[in-house]
Amino acid sequence: MALNYTVPAVDRAIRVLELLSAARNGLSLAQLASQTKVPKSTMFRILHTLREHQIILEDNERKLFTLGMRVLGWGNAALERMDYKAIAHPYLVKLAEETRESFYLALLDHDEVILVDRVDTPEVWKMVTRLGQRSPFHCTATGLIIAAAMSDDDIDEMIDRHGLRKFTPKTITNVVRLKRRLKEVDRLGYAVADGEYKPELCAVAVPIWDHAGAVVASLMTAVPSARSRKDKKLVVNLISVLKREAAQISKRIGYEKGSFGN
């Protein structure tokens, strides 16, 4: 029997922070206690401790709690230590200026897609996604392009841990179909997810390789599905520029094409 070394108080505090991160307008003590099933007296002490360390803020008039700036500082510090973000950012800027679209750098972290950088232009429609927001791997362009480079065993483990939730009528929830899709994505060298995670959103992603030839991130963009259907060349052109810049980013990281069979 596996031992559980989790510290209950820390676990509860983390659950509180996760709930607050998803609440746009904050949550009250009663709401947090209800959603976590933690007694109000215990929740009061948790909130008091977090507030004392400036991890959360309290609106005294509305009696609501929100995340504090200290959390943002921690998140930015973590992101700034990622070489991938520092290296890739100028290429995102270049793509946005060239195409007048929005571009994103995304990673796979704990089986989920996480956006770590973005560059938008004022003229384009913006995808409503925050940096740090997590998305499923099986129905997002980034998730598909990174998973396509993984082994069947690793994919099976991710599916066992999270399942294949259906988000839209287009979401693939069959394991056999998903693996067939991943093989096709790997062959093509890009992934297009049109309406599979968010309705009417067409996302396109290509891989970024590191010095060892492993897919470590993806370069991604997204446009309304209506635009991609109306302009048949749009996705083709986006794939082309994404591949071009992803190759440059990979080269900066140390990847040498052909050295690892890619």
Residue range 39-48: mean pLDDT, rounded: 94
Residue range 173-181: mean pLDDT, rounded: 94
Residue range 170-192: mean pLDDT, rounded: 94
Q: Distance (Å, rounded) from C-alpha 173 to C-alpha 190?
A: 20
Residue range 185-211: mean pLDDT, rounded: 92
Residues facing residue 27 across a β-bridge: 65
pLDDT in tens, 125-146: 555 456 667 788 999 999 999 9
Answer yes or no: is pLDDT of 41 > 70: yes
Answer yes or no: is pLDDT of 11 > 80: yes
Answer yes or no: is pLDDT of 259 > 50: no
pLDDT in tens, 80-108: 555 788 889 999 999 998 998 889 999 88
Predicted confidence band of residue 122 (pLDDT cuts 50, 70, 90): low
Residues 144 and 138: beta-carbon distance below 8 Å: yes
Percent of the chain with pLDDT over 70: 90
Residues in Cβ contact with 45 at an 8 Å cutoff, skipping those fewer than 6 apart: none
Answer yes or no: is pLDDT of 222 > 70: yes
Position 253 scores a pLDDT of 80
SS3 63: coil
Position 130 scores a pLDDT of 63
- DSSP 8-class letter at 135: E
Position 113 scores a pLDDT of 85
Question: Higher model confidence: residue 121 or residue 48?
Answer: 48
The mean of the pLDDT values for the chain is: 87
- Which residue bears the tokens 């096709």? 184
Residue range 66-72: mean pLDDT, rounded: 86
Residues 190 and 204: beta-carbon distance below 8 Å: yes
In single-letter form, the type of residue at position 88 comes to A
Residues in Cβ contact with 183 at an 8 Å cutoff, skipping those fewer than 6 apart: 148
pLDDT in tens, 44-63: 999 999 999 999 999 988 99
Domains of the chain: 8-72 (1.10.10.10), 82-253 (3.30.450.40)
Position 128 scores a pLDDT of 45
Predicted confidence band of residue 2 (pLDDT cuts 50, 70, 90): low
Predicted confidence band of residue 79 (pLDDT cuts 50, 70, 90): low
Answer yes or no: is pLDDT of 199 > 80: yes
